Amino acid sequence: MKEITEAIRQELTDLIFNYYAEECEVDRDSITMDTNPQEDLESDSLMFVELIELTSEKYDLDVKLQSIGKYLLKTPMNTMKDVVDMFCKIYQYGNEIVNQ
Amino acid sequence: MYQKAFLFNGIGSKPEKLLVKLSPALTEKYQYYVDEEFSRLGLQTALENNLPFDRKVAEWIISLICDRVVFEYYLSQGIVPDIGAGYSSGIVSISACFGAVPHTFAHEIIMMNRATMRTLEQHHQNLDMGVILGLDYQSVQDILQGRFTPEEVMVGSANSIICTMITGQAEAVEKALAICMEEGAMKAIRFHTGIAYHHPCMKQYSQEYNDFCGSIAYQNPEYPIISVFDNRIMTEGTEIMRENQLNVYTPIRWDLALKKLTDLGVTEFFDVSANGAVEKFSRINKRKGRIYTLSEL
């Protein structure tokens, strides 16, 4: 398990917010932790998959989409806070996220 | 020998999602083509005023016209393909844009899907397709094997490591999608097309379509096209005709076609879809190449 610092968490938050702002063509400042990525930003699953790929590449993470898919069955993502929390777990646990 | 490849999308994108991506100049050009073609084909530009089968093909023709507008825009910017590939009905689109058939004939091919839909209806067939995000070809194959026969449901297209399309009997497609979700797919979406494109069962229901595809002489394309069925590099009109005929009932390996293009030296891929859909479901080795979309160009 990798340790996640406050700095890494902030970096991930910025990466995620900037990504959604660009992909969904909305103002970055209009996105908050309570924003629903699907309903409020009209994001889709392909965007989410691409975000996982981007993050995995940036942090050299070894994680299978299938592991994240199984995790999502237990933990749906309704807000940007859920998204950030999930990416922090991906960073920490990699494929073991499925057991979290 | 090959550096730039143009990638043509199949059906599936909603017209409004395509049109919003066109600049005013491109929209004007699009409108000119639509008015001309819809009038010739007897289709209503207000899509809701068409009969159900007409509405479907009208949406698909809009997709082809958007491709044409984007394709012509790329050429006008000096971006010229060395080769190309068409995903599903993108084969019809690339056949026209690369000069193997006139655009009017390509639109008539799309119109012939109505005959296939009618035949399926007469035979009381309940078919469908679906897409799975987050599972690759082999993972989906493993899930289907032992649970379903290929006659019930099979992989219709291996798009990329993140995206696989399945096709077959509607009930089996629905069950397979549900199982894929339980097995860790990020998303599994049923298309509700009523048709199982890229399933061998479609051969018996698409005779009229296939006869029409073969009803004119095809020109040799201006640029080579890679087959998404067996990765052949096609340079002759007869090969393009055959590709169009195989299209309805043959499974696609889009992933392998893109890999072959990369192996052939292609480093710049240009998504000809207005909304960058090909770039979203395709994956290429990032160290070897990149996919450009209209919004970036």
What ipTM does the predicted assembly reach?
0.77
Q: How confident is the model at residue B11 (pLDDT cuts 50, 70, 90)?
A: confident
**In terms of DSSP bridges, do strands B163-169 and B127-133 run parallel, antiparallel, or are they unpaired?**
antiparallel
- Record: fold of B4-119+201-296: Malonyl-Coenzyme A Acyl Carrier Protein; domain 2 (3.40.366)
Query: Nearest Cβ partner of A69 from B185, B281, B286?
Result: B185
- pLDDT score, position A62: 83
CA distance B94 to B106: 9
Closest-CA distance, A38 to chain B, in angstroms, reads 13
CA distance B260 to B278: 17
Residues of A with Cβ-Cβ distance to B184 under 8 angstroms: 65-70, 73, 98
- pLDDT score, position B257: 97
Percentage above 70 pLDDT, chain B: 100
* Average confidence (pLDDT) over A12-32: 93
Give the model confidence (pLDDT) of B108-163 as tens digits. 999 999 999 999 999 999 999 999 999 999 999 999 998 999 999 999 999 998 99
Query: Into which CATH architecture does domain A6-99 fall?
Result: Orthogonal Bundle (1.10)
- pLDDT score, position A95: 86
Give the model confidence (pLDDT) of B237-284 as tens digits. 999 999 999 999 999 999 999 999 999 999 999 999 999 899 988 988
For chain A, the maximum distance between any two Cα atoms, rounded to a whole number of angstroms, is 35
CA angle (B263 as vertex; B262, B264 as ends), nearest 5: 90
Give the model confidence (pLDDT) of A67-97 as tens digits. 999 999 888 889 999 999 999 999 999 888 8
SS3 B154: strand
Answer whether B134 sits within 8 Å of A50, measured CB to CB: no
- Record: fold of B127-193: Alpha-Beta Plaits (3.30.70)
For chain B, the maximum distance between any two Cα atoms, rounded to a whole number of angstroms, is 53
How is chain A split into domains, by residue range? 6-99
Give the model confidence (pLDDT) of B171-186 as tens digits. 999 999 999 999 999 9
Closest-CA distance, B17 to chain A, in angstroms, reads 12
Average pLDDT of chain B? 95
Residue B286, amino acid:
K
Interface test with A, best of B131, B136, B189, B280 (most A CBs within 10 A): B280
Q: How far apart are the first and last CA of chain B?
A: 23
Q: Does the pLDDT value for residue B12 go beyond 80?
A: no
How is chain B split into domains, by residue range? 4-119+201-296, 127-193
- pLDDT score, position A51: 93
Closest-CA distance, A32 to chain B, in angstroms, reads 24
Give the model confidence (pLDDT) of B49-66 as tens digits. 999 999 999 999 999 999
Burial B154-183 (b: 16+ CB within 10 A, else e): bbbbbbbbbbbbbbbbbebbbebbebbbeb
* Average confidence (pLDDT) over A21-43: 92
Q: Does the pLDDT value for residue B38 go beyond 80?
A: yes
Answer whether A69 sits within 8 Å of B280, measured CB to CB: no
